[in-house]
Every structure is written in structure tokens, then in C-alpha cells.
Structure 1
Amino acid sequence: MAAQLNLPLERPVVNSPVSDDNSDQTVTVTPPSKTLTLALNSPEGIDCYGNERKALLDQGKFYNNPVLSDIKLVVGGQKYYSHKLILVKCSDVFERMFSSDWSDENLKEVELKEDSICIGVFPRFLKFLYTNHIKLNTDNSLPILILADKYNIVDLKNVCINFASTCIIPKLQLKDVFHIWFQYATKCYHQTLITCSVQTLSDKMEDITSTVEWETEWMNLDQDQLIEFLKSSELIIKDEYALWKATIKWLNAPQNVEKIQENLKKVLCYIRFPMMVPEQLCEIESSAIVEQNTELFQHHLKSAYKYHSLPLTTRANMKEFSSSAFLLRNYSDLRWDKRLIIPKYSTLPKGEEVSLRFATRASSFPAQTWEWELKISPKGFSPTCDDLRTILYSNLILDQPRPVEYLLSVVGSDQILQSVCGRKNFTKARYSIDTELEKKISVSDLMTSNSPLLVNDCLHLQIHLKPVE
């Protein structure tokens, strides 16, 4: 009697070696003996796979080939011999198109109406359905993505999006990024392309929000496009107040002026009021737009004032101060806080120390810059030590002791994840402090697969400093 396979064990899998030739291959498989024995004797048997690459190459021979063709696609006057099975396998749109409810089963020719920019790339698009392979460049990526979207070819969409995000958008002129990729991405809700476009444009955010050269683009953003900018922590801008003034300008644009209240309800939650100084908050509070919409602003301003009234050590323990409203952007103005990023975490060697230098204001008169350095061991202090050591150094030669509060946080894309805080009396002889971040976060937490403490393989930190009277 054959043994039944009824164990929570993964069955052995046999794969053919990848090869482009037709030579005979010998496959050797040595799965666990107990599992193999049970699988061999089971009615279900062992999964065995052939050479997928060779199968696709062989299938590619049928591209635009009359052999066994059962449908012709006509695009821009050009006819392509096609096979319904291939088209339907790749696209639910083609499946509906060729279903008996939609078309005559005996139909031998179908004309497809495509955008003019897509007609020339249609052969490459069609060949991908047969071969799962395509050659992309700067000119053809968007037209092919348009076709992939239209016919819902998910695999091709991912290929185009990844190619554009890594090879095209970061290298394009900013006007082209804005008018071509950002516009298309926001219309089709391709979040990866939206994020990449915003990140590329973020370096020039001050120009985009305040110069004549970019005024037309900024004023003509639709609401969703504006929100994509306001959501981003990557923006390089003077301060949050400057971003608010740019938002006011957008709210007062001719096409928006009749729906200011409606737009305010949508965009206010993306303005980071706590990142403004109290003087700026007072100015906003006394503005006409707040007086006319008091209820919409009340919660945001109250939360910001409360945030500023509390010491850093209290802020660190309040859950209400952990949302995206309390995340720093890349502000260019000299402040008492800074956003810091350690990129490509997965590639960092164990035991390596990373130094992050930044400057803040200084509690002195006349005003001067206070230079700091945060030294962190992202994967442990040494090859044998897994402590996430994080030391803050003052690089300013002090003439007298200066007590300072600190608040160091690990942040995600939309919230503060973990924080440590404390107080240090910095002097000429005592110029560093161990933040003890390792008490909240371990290296193993960071190194887990898809760690929630990392953002796209980057460790995002923000530090707040506050002089103590």
C-alpha cells in the first residue's frame, strides 16, 4: 500500500538547470531522505520543472508568426499575427476582448486604437507577451508603460516602473520629470513613480514653490498632486512656514479660490505645524484664512503650541507626538533639529561606524553655529558586539558649560517609531554623550527581513536639541 504524504514538510522540487542549448542534462537532487521517500510513494509525487528560459525562447518563435495564428492585431495599419492563448494568458483585458460575449468567435482580425506615441513601440510590447523580455530606453519606456497599463500586463508594468525609477527619472531634466513622469504617475496612481518623481524634484523645492520659472507648474497642481509633495519628508526647503506660504499661494490660485474650505480640509493634515517656531504659529493664527476657518485650524495649532511648551523628555513619552506631523523635512534653515539618513543599511559591514555631521543654532550671543557629530554603529560596535552604539559629540569649543536636552528618534515614512532622550551638561572636557539608543532598538531588530525600522533599506533618524536654562 502506497504511503500517504501527510506531513507539514515541504515536498522536494526538481528543477532543470538553466541552459540555452538543447543538450541533454543530468539533474541530481538530494532532498531530505524521509521527505523523498514519502513523496516518491505518494500519489501526488514530486514537483519537477523544466527549463523556463528555454521554454520562453521557444515560445518567442511564434511572435508575429502565421503558424497556428488565430487572430491578427491591426495597429496603425500594421498587422501582427497573434495567438489568443498567449494574449489571454497575459492579459485579462484581452481575455474579455476575445470572450464570446464581446466578440464574434470567428473573428480573425481586430483593430486596436492606440495613442500615436504607442504605435511605434507596439511590436516590442507584443513580443514581451511571448518572451517575457524587452529592451527599454529613455524614449520607449513611457509608451510601453501606457500599453502595459491599458492591457493590464502586470509583469511589464513592474519592469517599466522599476526601469524608469532607477534609470530615467533621476537623470532627467526636472521640467521633464514634472511634466512627463509625475503627471502620468499621479493620473494612473503609480506610487513608486510618484515617490521617485517627488524625491527627484525635492532638491529644488524652494525654486518650485517660490520662483517665477516654476509658478505655472505649482499653481496648476491638482489637489492630489499637491498632497504628494506635502506628504514627503524628502523636501529640501527653508522651513515648514515657507511650505505653508506656498500652500496658501496654491489655495488662492484662480481655479481653487472658490473651494478653499474644501481644499483646506484635505491638505491641512499634511502641514507640519509643530515644526514651525511659535512666532510663525502666531502669525498664522492671526491671518485671515484662519479667522475665516477657525474650526479647521484649531486642533493643528493647539497641538503645535502644546508640543513647543513641553521639554524634550516629556515629548518623547507622548504618543500623540508620534504622527507624521512631527517628522522633520530636510529644512535648510539653521535650527535646533536635524533629519539624518543612513542609506543602504543591508550593505553596511558589521562593526563599521558611521559619522553624521550636522549644525544647529547655538545658545550664545552673538549668534553662532554649533557643530555636532553623531557616531553610530548600525550593525554593532564590533564584529563580536551587537550593541547599536550611538554617541553624540559636540564639536564646538565651549568657553562655559552649556546644558542641553536631546531627543533622538528612529522614524518611518509616516511616524516616529522609537525615541531616546536625556540631558547633558556639555563642557570643554565633557563633550560627548552616549544616547543609549540600544536600549530601545537592537541590531537584530534592524536586520530582520523587511524590518519596519527601515525605509527602503535606509535608517532614518531625527534629532532635536534644546538648550536648558
Structure 2
Amino acid sequence: MMFEFGDEEPYYTLYDYPVYNDDDDSMDNYVDEYETSHGHLHQQITAELEKKERENFQNAQQNLLSHVRVSVDEVSRVTGTLYDEQRYSDVTLAVGDRRFHAHRLVLSAWSDVFKTMLCNLSCRTTNLKCQDLVEEECCEEFFGDFLKFLYTASVDLTKENVLPLALLADKYLVKELRELCDEFIRDKQNDAQEVVTFIRSALKLGMHETVEVCLQSLLCNFSFLKPDQLLSLKGEHLIYLLDSGPRLMVDDEFTLFKKIEPWLDQCQSEDTLLSIIKLIRFPYMNALQLKKATETPAFRRAQEMMPDILLKSWQQQALYKEGSLDDLPEDFPWPRLYLNPSDEARFPDQKCISTRDQPMNEPIAVHIDGSSYCHTCLAWEGKRIGQKHFFKQASTFRCLIKLTQSPDSPNEVNFQINTYYEDSRKILHLGVRALVHGATVPIYFSKCLPLLPSITPYIGKVTSRDTQFTFPIGISDPEIMTLHVTIILEDEDEKTT
């Protein structure tokens, strides 16, 4: 490697040699010491110089590209001036009673459907070809917004236009627009009324993928559903939610059961009723909760079709509490993201005293623009034994929670969490209920994270990937948020005890 004036000095100028006489007995020791130190130092500085050379090369590339690169915003601004511009258009799109002047090049660049459709149209400036498009009635009103996206790569989504635009994006295979629509729907997860409305509208339009996106958003805000909203869900939708492994976030299993009880009471299909009862996680109820659940009319109806369901429910609950792994059934259920058992679930007004089989998730107060170590999360650890999944409350667990106010918006807060555990786990399921100090409506969010090895292996812990959640809080200048955090640690390796 050649050094130019102004570069860092070669490695030999960085080592200060002491002076020895030829007859000095310590010279041999010094030579050994020097060779060892010299070798390590040489490797270190060589690596640093190579790193610097790579960085200089990358910076040079970036500097070169910066002189010729045009930003996406600039391109969109230029092409946006062509939207519905008649002077240079070479095709007219007829949608209902409206006519749109368009350009085959722009349409074909975004959509293979348009490319195939328009490839046979001749380009004549004096006799523009007209292409009739047959769209759903709800899409005709918003076709201009769809077409404008193809010219500007931007769109203003609302709850009125998001589904029609998603339907148009599906029809013309504009995946970028479809992704924006799905993201908009997911951002509405804390408004259960809108999500249920999206589901109803998507069903009418046959948009099954959108229905699934909506159901996924309900996984973390299931507690927001009101009785009438829950009753509007179909049996297949409720089964999807209850059969989502650890992704469904609820207070506790008994509260979940009581919430869906009105739906079960009005269910006309005996097979659907039995399918839903089988998805209830009875082992995660305490004894008194299980007794109350089995006395409900819905459970008794299921028992008529499956006489041994009561016995199996009690057996699973007892075996799980005792930790009898070998006797657990092959389809032993996952825990859900249980945030905290409610007082109602504990029956405090009863004369009999129930044990605290389910640990209480203590609230965590965290200052915004600050961080806090926490040991009070509700954590479940799980492992696979053969084909059986076994979960129990984690005894040794801690996490670092950090809240910072977004620099771009005063009404947003970034949520970051690092989790530490003393064993190797592959997947972490995280659920959070957050309440801004002074607010009355909580915010729910959940995520599945891969665990990464710690940078310092000798500590023997595993650290999750840093994750940020950004959400509007609707309150100016907040200072404190109260959090309830639950975590499920999943080990997919097959192990034996």
C-alpha cells in the first residue's frame, strides 16, 4: 500500500523502540516481546488501513453518484405535471362518465396489465385512442386518485378511498400502492370500529387478502372490540383470531372467554361452536376460572357433542400446573400474549380464595426521553419436547425499555426494547399496552422478533434485536407512559428433559 503526503504514518513510526547495547542480556527477551507486539500491531493497523481504504472508496462512489443522481421526489414532480395533460397524451381512459388523458409509457411502467392492454394501441396525436375500463362502482369515484399515484408516486389515503384503491392496485398489479393501503389499515389497529368496517366492506368486494390484513391488526387490539362489533365477525374470522398461536393479545384467557360468550350463545352452527371451544386455552385458567367457564351454556352445548371435553379441560389444566410434561397432549396449546389478569378474572368477591396461578403484570412507568430496566414483565418461556409445546412463567428475565420523543413529530413516541435472558431462544413474541399519563384510551401493539446473540458471549445472555414502534399519542408534550409488557420466549429446538 502506498502512502501519500498527509496520509496516516506507517505502522513502524507508531512504535517507540528502547535502545539496547549489543552485550545486554535482556535483548533476547526484548526481541521476543517486540516480535509479538509488532505482529499484533501490524495486523491491527493493516486492518484499520484497509477499512479506511474501503470507506474512502465508498465515499468516492457516493460523491460521484451525488452529481448525477436525481431524487425520486424530483422525478415524481416532473411526471406529476403530465397527469391528465391532454397535449402529450396518447391514450384516453374512459371510466364511467369520466375521461382521463393518459400516457402509455407511464401506465406501462407501473402496470403489466396496462402494458398488455395498451400495446396494440397506435400512437396518433390527431386521433387519440380511447380505452374503456369497467371498474367496480366504488372504484369509479377514486380512479383519478389511482391514476394520479402512477404519475406522482404519492397518495392521500382515507378510510373512504383505501379499499377502492387497494382493489384497483390488485386489479392492475401495482404492488407499491397495495402495500401503502395495507400499511394504512394496519395503522388503524387501535380503532376497532374502523377495522370491523373494513372487514365488512372487503367481504362485499371479495377482497380476502384485505380481510386477513384487518384480522391481523385485530390480534393486538382484540380488547377494543365491543359486543356488537364482535357479533358482526364470522365464525371463520373468530377461529382465525383464536388460532393465531401467541400473537393474540388479551388480558387473560378467562376474560377472553367471557368476551366471546355472547357470540357463542348466538352461534347457530354446532360444529363452529365446538371448534371455538377447542381453541380456548383452559390450562392457562386457574381452577375457579375453569369452573366458571365450564358452567356456561356455550360450554355445555359443546359438551353434548363432545362428552369428554370437560374431563380433558380439567386434565390439561391440572397437568400443566403440575408440570407433568410426559402426559401433556400432542396439541398442547400456546399461551397468548396475556397482559395482566383482571380483578374480575380473580373473583375477589367470592368467599373462596383462588391461588395466584397467573402472575400479575405490574405496571411500568417510563419517562419519555428516558430509559428503565424492568423485571416486572409477564414472561413465558417455552420449549418443544418431541411434538409437544410446554410453556411456563419465566423466572429470570429483564428488559431495557427506552422511550424517546420523535424529532419529526411532537405527537409521536418511539418505543425501543432490549430483552435479556439467560438461555438460548430463537423467537420472541412481544406485546405492549401503553397508556399516556393523563389519557384514558390505551394503545396496543405487538411484534414477533428474532433473538440475536449477545456481543459479549461470556455473559451468557441473549439480546433481542432493537425494535422501534412509532405511534401517535394524541397528547401534546407527554412526559410519562405506563406500560404493561408481556413476552413469550419460544425455543423451536427439539429437546428432552
TM-score, with normalisation over the residues of structure 1? 0.55
Aligned residue pairs total 340
**Structure 2 CA distance for partners of 1:290 and 1:187, relative to 1, 3 Å:** farther
User: Structure 1 residues 342 and 121 mapped into 2: Cα distance closer, same or farther (>3 Å)?
Assistant: farther
Aligned equivalent of 2:4: none
Distance 2:122 2:105 in 1: 16
What is the aligned partner in structure 1 of residue 216 from structure 2?
195
- What's the counterpart of residue 124 of structure 1? 145
- C-alpha change, 1:289 and 1:321, in structure 2 (3 Å) is closer
Whether 2:233 is the aligned partner of 1:221: answer: yes
User: Given the alignment of the two structures, is residue 445 of structure 1 paired with residue 463 of structure 2, yes or no?
Assistant: yes
Q: Does the alignment pair 1:50 with 2:70?
A: yes
Contact in 2 for aligned 1:324/1:415 (Cα 8 Å)? no
- Tell me, yes or no, if the aligned pair for 1:240 and 1:275 is still in contact at 8 Å: no
The structure-2 alpha-carbon separation of the partners of 1:389 and 1:272, relative to structure 1 and needing over 3 Å to count, comes to closer
- Residues 1:180 and 2:198 are matched in the alignment: yes
Is 1:154 the equivalent of 2:167? no
Shift of 1:112: 1.8
CA spacing shift, 1:462–1:60, aligned 2, 3 Å: closer
CA-CA distance at 1:226 after TM superposition: 1.4
The one of 114, 121, 135 equivalent to 2:135 is 114
Contact persistence 2:377–2:486 (CA under 8 A): no
C-alpha change, 1:274 and 1:183, in structure 2 (3 Å) is: farther
- Cα distance in 2, alignment partners of residues 235 and 105 from structure 1: 59
Residue 275 of structure 1 is aligned with which of 277, 284, 309?
Answer: 284
Cα displacement (A) at 1:348: 7.7
User: Pick from 305, 318, 321: which aligns with 1:292?
Assistant: 305
The 1:241/1:460 distance shift into structure 2, 3 A limit, reads: closer
What secondary structure is seen at the aligned counterpart in 2 of 1:287?
helix
Name stretches of at least 5 consecutive residues in structure 1 with no aligned partner.
1-30, 209-213, 359-373, 391-408, 419-438, 451-456, 464-469
Name the counterpart of 1:60: 80
Q: Contact 2:94 / 2:132 at 8 angstroms: preserved in 1?
A: yes
- Give 5+ residue unaligned stretches, structure 2: 1-50, 347-355, 379-394, 403-417, 432-445, 451-457, 469-482, 490-497
Corresponding residue of 1:77? 97
Separation in structure 1 between the aligned mates of residue 155 and residue 447 of structure 2, nearest angstrom: 39
Amino acid across the alignment from 1:118: C
- Paired residue type of 1:234: M
Structure label with greater radius of gyration: 2
Alpha-carbon distance change, 387 to 355 in structure 1, aligned in 2, over 3 angstroms? closer
Q: CA deviation at 1:80?
A: 0.9
- Which residue identity lines up with residue 445 of structure 1 in the other structure? T
Give the residue type in structure 2 aligned to 1:110.
Q
Give distance in 1, aligned partners of 2:365 and 2:186: 17
In structure 1, give the amino acid aligned to 2:134.
K
Alignment of 1:353 with 2:368, yes or no, is no
Could you tell me which amino acid in structure 1 is paired with residue 255 of structure 2? Answer: D
Paired with 1:344 and 1:459, the residues of 2 have a C-alpha distance of: 11
1:460 correspondence with 2:486? yes
Seen in structure 2, the aligned counterparts of structure 1 residues 355 and 92 have a Cα distance that, compared at 3 Å, is same
**Counterpart check, 1:303 vs 2:332:** no
Cα pair distance change 1:220/1:244, threshold 3 Å: closer
Conserved? CA contact 1:327–1:415, under 8 Å = no
1:127 CA displacement: 1.0
- Once the two structures are superposed, the pairs formed by residues 90-101 of structure 1 within 5 Å of their partners are 90-98=110-118
Q: How far, CA to CA, are the matches of 1:99 and 1:344 in structure 2? A: 62
Shift of residue 74 of structure 1?
0.9
| Pair 415,181 (structure 1): closer, same or farther in 2 beyond 3 Å | closer
- Is the contact made by 1:71 and 1:109 (CA closer than 8 Å) also made in structure 2? yes
Over 3 Å counting, the alpha-carbon distance change for 1:415 and 1:65 in structure 2 is closer
Equivalent residue of 2:463, what SS? Answer: helix
State the percentage of identical aligned residues. 18
Q: Distance in 2 between matches of 1:164 and 1:83?
A: 31
For residues 423-438 of structure 1, what are the structure 2 equivalents within 5 Å? none
Give me the whole-angstrom Cα distance separating, in 1, the residues matched to 2:294 and 2:55: 72
Q: Relative to 1, partners in 2 of residues 1:445 and 1:34: Cα closer, same or farther, differing over 3 Å?
A: closer
Q: Return closer, same or farther for 1:353/1:159 CA change in 2, 3 Å cut-off.
A: same
Q: Tell which has more relative contact order, 1 or 2 (C-alpha 8 A, sep 6+).
A: 2
Structure 2 residue aligned with 1:248: 264
Q: What is the letter of the counterpart of residue 319 of structure 2?
A: K
Q: In 1, Cα distance between the equivalents of 2:71 and 2:182? A: 27
Q: Structure 1 counterpart of 2:281, which letter?
A: R
Query: Is 1:233 aligned to 2:248, yes or no?
Result: yes
Cα distance in 2 for residues equivalent to 1:296 and 1:121: 52
Conservation of the 8 A alpha-carbon contact between 1:145 and 1:160? yes
1:9 corresponding residue in structure 2? none
CA RMSD of aligned residues (A): 5.5
Q: Distance in 1 between matches of 2:113 and 2:310?
A: 46
- The TM-score, its normalising length taken from structure 2, stands at 0.52
Secondary structure, in 3 states, of the residue corresponding to 1:239? Answer: helix
Preserved contact between residue 185 and residue 213 of structure 2 (Cα < 8 Å): no
* CA displacement 1:30-86 (0-9 Å, x = unmatched): x96569889x9xxxx999743332222222222212344332111122111112232
Deviations 1:144-184 (A, max 9, x none): 23322332322112222323433x5645xx54442335652
